[in-house]
A = this chain, B = another copy of it.
Amino acid sequence: MPKPQKPRNVSARSTQGVTVFEVARLAGVAPITVSRVLNEPGKVKEATLLRVRQVIEETGYVRNQIAGSLASNRTRLVAVIVPVLTNPIFSDTYQAIATWLAKADYQVLLGISGYHAEQEEELIDVVLSRRPDGIILTGTIHTELSRRRLQSTGIPVVETWDMTEEPIDMLIGFSHEEIGRREAQHLLAKGYRDFAIVEVDDPRGHRRSESFIRELALHGIAPRHRQTFHGLPALSQGRAALLTLLPLRQRPLMIVCSSDTLAHGVLTEAACQGINVPGEFAVMGFGDMNFAAFTFPSLSTVRIDGAGIGRRAAAALLERLKGNTTSPPVMMDVGFTLVDRDSTALLANPWTSTE
């Protein structure tokens, strides 16, 4: 039997809500037992468990995780820093992260950095003040200060959607340079020799393009055209891009886009102009988003397993939070897949004739 409690919740500061003390009093147990019912029910005798749960039910008690977090120094909160919510390329990843974390009773604190390392730095400050148990970042490019802050806190960090030799902590992604390189090799091997690049100015897409161009250069080829749009990739930009490429139509042209959405726009404008794809233009996207297999013609692209990245990021974090510091450091390259569809199908009139 617990000893009678001192009166509680009488000061003007209180929230007036039901607390563990009230529940404990009504159930005839000590507050810590209520806490155990909530957090470690296995450690409480069945009868006590039921009694406390009934009181919780009757009183409508809602636990205060803020107080719990302060006392236990664990928040069950994971901060997820995203560049934007409006670029669907990342949606699968964030959805997977939130879903898998929720299964383990962790919640997501969301931060939007707008693709800016400086804004991300501010965000990290804000977020750290809430003492998340873990942080998931999009990308591997951060300010030096961000890196130091994150490392000095010792909070588990997962970087995603990129590769680096020196991750802050854990890393689950793929190499954008490798994609550019392999994409170039792949298209060269198929016989394409004339290239145009259509991209937006997002940092990772830009690096894919640069890597693509470097690989072409190794084969003595320079792209005939490069167009960079601002902001998020949009169908409209792809359409505009194809219009500027029309004068290049004398010879078939391989149009390499930094996103499926841009590529879809190119295909749309081609359909509008009655231009045959892949006959007069071939088109390559990036992302293998859910529409890519169903455009007309179907879009060749680079498949990224966004949901897989999210699932693995969540899993790696949860593993660490379980206390498995003995587990090897996580630095996983999930890779990518070049997907050949109709938009790069070789026709009877081989492009290799332009060599």
Question: A233: nearest residue on chain B (CB-CB)?
Answer: B290
- Chain B residues contacting A126 (CB-CB under 8 Å) are 105, 107
Question: A102: nearest residue on chain B (CB-CB)?
Answer: B112
Per-residue CB contact flags for chain A residues 82-104 toward chain B (1 = under 8 Å, else 0) read 00111010011011001100100
A235 within 8 A of B: yes
A-side interface size class? 35 or more
Q: Which of B69, B153, B236, B295 contacts A294 (CB 8 A)?
A: B236
Please state if B296 and A63 are interface contacts (CB–CB under 8 Å): no
- Chain B residues contacting A293 (CB-CB under 8 Å) are 236
Question: Complex Cα distance A126/B128, Å?
Answer: 21
Interface residues of A (CB under 8 A from B): 13, 15, 60, 62-67, 69-70, 73, 75, 77, 80, 84-86, 88, 91-92, 94-95, 98-99, 102, 105, 107-112, 125-131, 149, 152-153, 234-236, 239, 261, 264-265, 268-269, 271-272, 290-291, 293-296
Sort A-B residue pairs by CB-CB distance and give the 7 closest, nearest first.
A235-B291, A85-B95, A272-B296, A108-B110, A235-B294, A65-B129, A86-B91
Please state if B271 and A294 are interface contacts (CB–CB under 8 Å): no
Question: Complex Cα distance A290/B238, Å?
Answer: 13
A-B contact pairs, 18 of them (CB 8 A): A60-B152, A62-B128, A64-B70, A65-B130, A66-B130, A80-B110, A84-B95, A85-B95, A86-B92, A95-B112, A98-B111, A105-B126, A107-B111, A107-B130, A108-B109, A109-B110, A110-B110, A234-B290
Please state if B85 and A107 are interface contacts (CB–CB under 8 Å): no
Given contacts A62-B128, A85-B91, 7 further A-B contacts (CB under 8 A): A62-B149, A65-B130, A66-B69, A77-B109, A102-B112, A108-B111, A236-B291
- Chain B residues contacting A66 (CB-CB under 8 Å) are 66, 69-70, 75, 130-131
Minimum CB–CB distance for A161 against chain B, Å:
15
- Chain B residues contacting A128 (CB-CB under 8 Å) are 62
